[in-house]
Amino acid sequence: ASFFSFVNYLNPVFGVLWGALLLAEVISLQAVAALGLILLGVAMSNRK
């Protein structure tokens, strides 16, 4: 179950990356900060 919650948290990360790669969207500083917070939360929740 923890793997699926991990993947669920990474959906926004991949959404932003695919948007930038495929649709040439600009990644704002706010988006980078939000993605950093998401990754930090995932790292903290997976810490043992």
At 1, the pLDDT band (50, 70, 90 cuts) reads low
**Structural contact between residues 13 and 45, judged by C-beta atoms closer than 8 angstroms:** no
**Structural contact between residues 6 and 39, judged by C-beta atoms closer than 8 angstroms:** no
Task: Examine the pLDDT at 18 and tell me if it is beyond 90.
Answer: yes
- pLDDT, tens digit (0-9, with 9 covering 90-100), for 32-42: 999 899 889 88
What's the mean pLDDT in 1-8?
Answer: 74
Torsions phi, psi for 26 (to 5 deg): -85, 130
- Classify 26 as helix, strand or coil: coil
Tell me the whole-structure pTM to 2 decimals: 0.67
At 13 the pLDDT is 84
Tell me what the pLDDT averaged over the chain comes to.
86
**Distance between CA atoms of 37 and 22, rounded to whole angstroms?**
24
For the chain, the domains span 2-46
